[in-house]
Structures are given as C-alpha cells and as structure tokens.
Amino acid sequence: MQASQPPSPPHLRYSRDDDMPETFKDLLSSLPSEEYWVTNSLSLYQGFWFPPWILNCVLTCQNHFQAQPSDVLLVTSPKSGTTWLKAILFALLNRAKYSDSDSQRRHPLLTQNPHDLVPTFELKLYLEQESPDLAALPSPRLFATHMPYSSLPQSVRDSNCKLVYLCRNPKDTFVSMWHFFNKMRPEEKGQIPIQECLDKFCRGVSSFGPYWDHVLGYYKASSEMPEKVLFVMYEQMKVDPHAHVRRLADFLGCPLSEEELRDGTVEGILRMCSFDNLSALEVNKRGKLSTGQESKWYFRRGEVGDWVNYMSAEMGERIDRVMAEKLDGSGLKL
C-alpha cells in the first residue's frame, strides 16, 4: 500500500510524524497501529483510530481547552457534511450582523471557506498552536471537532456548552471519504482500492472510527442530555432544511422571531449555505484552507445516495450488515 502525507504549510506545529514531540512518540510506539492512506498510519487510542499527528492535537486540546457555557461545538465524523453545517451555524449565529442587503454583500462566507470561519480543534486550532488564545473570541464561540464523545476535553462535558452532532448515512460517508483521500494523494499513485478501504472501514479502522462507535457515543449523549447534545441527520436536513434551521436556532437558544420567519431569514441562510452557492464561490473553487488543503476538495456532489455509483450492491449490504449488528439495541438505525 502506498502512503503519502498531506502538504504541511510552514506555520503548522507538525503534520509529519517526525516532527512530533519525543514524549508523544513514546506513547505512539505503545499503541496498536494500522497502515492507512494519506496519513501513513492510524493509531488506536482509547478505542478510536487517529492519524498520529491528529492524536497529538487531540491530547493538546484535552489539556488546554477551557469551555465556556455559551460555546457551540459542531461534531461530525469526517465527510458527514461538516462544511455545510459549519456554514449554516455560522450564518445562523451571526445573522443579526448581516441582516440588511449592504452587510449581506460583505458576508464572510462569500470570501472565506467555512473551515476557516469555524475552526476545528484538532485540524486547525491545536495544529497551529499548542495553546491558542481563544478567551478573547466573541461569544458565542463556534468550534468544530471530529473527536469521539469520550475524547472531548473534560471542560466541554462539564460545562453547559452546546453540542450539535451531524450524522450521515455510512455508505455515503464512506464513499465521500474515499473520494477525499483520492484527491489528497498525488495523482501518480492512482486511486485507493475501494475494496481495501471498505475492508478497513468495516473493521472499524477509519479516521476517528469505528464509525459506529463515534455515532453511538453522541446518540447516547443526546438521548441522555437532549438540552446539551442535538443529534441531526444529514439526510433529514436535505429533506427539510427549513425545519432544521429552526430546530438548530431553538436548540442554541437563539430562536427565529416571527418577523425573521416572515422576512425570509431562513431562506437567505439556506441559499447562502447551499452546495450550489458555496461551491461556485471563487474562494471555494480556487482557494486553499489556511491548513493547506484545496477548498474545492470539500465540495463534491453533496447528494444523498451517491454511494450506488461507486459501490456494488454487495458492498452496500456489507456496510448495512455491520451497522445493523453494531447498532443493535441502541434504537438508532442508519
């Protein structure tokens, strides 16, 4: 299996295994690991698989991040639609600042990729600095993470901050991930064999996987603490995005007023954050994230059920069987 590493802009603390602190290398050498595409390897830490340099950022975040009660944290498994929900949450929480047509023309989503506007703990904030200064950020602070529930910093679990978990059908998530890895790796290496990628996924070996344990951790938390964790499905958002924006606003304690419901505020947010709009913006067509990835990698098709174009029925059934077995008794069906 070929391995390569993502480009590493100079300001990042490390994105190559060699750059990591010695103490962390000691921990790493004690963990089970598997070969993996793009990130070279994944390491199993407390039941979940992480690329090593990301695990180091997860541990740094656990040690340093201090949650505030007004914080909002978007959590996803990679390729579940993070980009879309980052945009929606950003637009929703900042809607008062961009309510008239003049300010709408200056809306940050028109010139910045959602991943730069809503930073991810382990892929940006704690990758760029060991202890970023977040205390001065305006409230409510909006962050994102792929960390499993059990890996969240203690202060996130202890504080009254809110968590929005976005879950996507595992077959579409898997295919989206396979495409993303293919884009990240040098063209001359060719496509990653999808069957090999599927074998690992079904054994639970994927970035921040096992996928089912990631989902279950938040599903359980949202059942036990519905006022703290909101569990949202990508597919349901696609069916009725309007209702979901209202649900998000209610959950985050910033419900839409009667006037906002009448004057098209929700429609404006959805238009701004739509796949067609965001993917056509210059910043997302040709720009790069501050962490080096091409913005366009985050916009592929944005559809439900696209997996059928890349996987056989048998491959799909295999994921269904694994999910049915792993989610059995949880009350969740994917």
Active site residues: 146
Min separation Cβ 48 and ligand A3P, Å: 17
Chain residues 143-182 in contact with ligand A3P, contact rule CB under 6 A? 172, 176, 179
Burial class (CB in 10 A: 0-12, 13-18, 19+), 51: buried
Contact 127, 293 (CB under 8 A): no
**Could you tell me which stretch among 27-35, 37-45, 74-82, 286-294 binds ligand A3P (CB under 6 A)?**
74-82
* Minimum CB distance to ligand A3P, residue 184 (Å): 12
Structure tokens belonging to residue 118: 């809503």
Residue 265 or 284 with smaller CB distance to ligand A3P: 284
Give 65-81 as a DSSP string: ----TT-EEEEE-TTSS
- 167, 232 Cβ separation under 8 angstroms: yes
Instruction: Please report how close the Cβ of residue 240 comes to ligand A3P at its closest, in angstroms.
Output: 14
**Which lies closer to ligand A3P via its Cβ, residue 62 or residue 176?**
176
Q: Judged by CB under 6 A, which of 128, 213, 294, 306 binds ligand A3P?
A: 306
Q: Which residue is nearest to ligand A3P (CB)?
A: 302
Q: Per rule CB under 6 A, is residue 80 in the interface with ligand A3P?
A: yes
Closest approach of ligand A3P to the CB of residue 28, in Å: 26
Whether the Cβ atoms of residue 265 and residue 258 lie closer than 8 Å to each other: no
20 vs 89 by CB, closer to ligand A3P: 89
Nearest approach, Cβ of residue 63 and ligand A3P (Å): 26
Number of residues that bind ligand A3P (CB under 6 A): 21
* Cα gap 279→285, rounded to integer Å: 6
Q: Which of 39, 60, 83, 293 binds ligand A3P (CB under 6 A)?
A: 83
Which residues, 242 to 301, sit near ligand A3P by CB under 6 A? 273-275, 278, 298-301
Cα separation, 301 vs 180, in Å, equals 12
Both tokens of 64, joined, read 């340093």
Question: Would you say 60 or 176 has its CB closer to ligand A3P?
Answer: 176
What's the rounded Cα separation, in Å, for the pair 287 and 282? 7
* Rg value, the chain, Cα: 19
Site string for ligand A3P, 193-222 (x = CB under 6 A): ------------------------------
Return the number of the residue (20 or 166) whose C-beta is nearest ligand A3P. 166
Task: Find the shortest distance in angstroms from Cβ 205 to ligand A3P.
Answer: 19
The count of other CB atoms within 10 Å of the CB of residue 330 is: 13
- How far is it, in rounded angstroms, from Cα 311 to Cα 315? 6
Question: Scanning residues 118 to 147, which ones bind ligand A3P (CB under 6 A)?
Answer: none
Give the span between the Cα atoms of 24 and 17, in whole angstroms: 10
**Three-state DSSP class for 153?**
coil
Q: Which C-beta is closer to ligand A3P: that of 227 or that of 303?
A: 303
Q: What is the amino acid identity at position 99?
A: S
DSSP annotation string for 251-278: HTT-PPPHHHHHTTHHHHHHHHHSHHHH
Contact residues: ligand A3P, CB under 6 A: 76, 78-84, 172, 176, 179, 273-275, 278, 298-302, 306
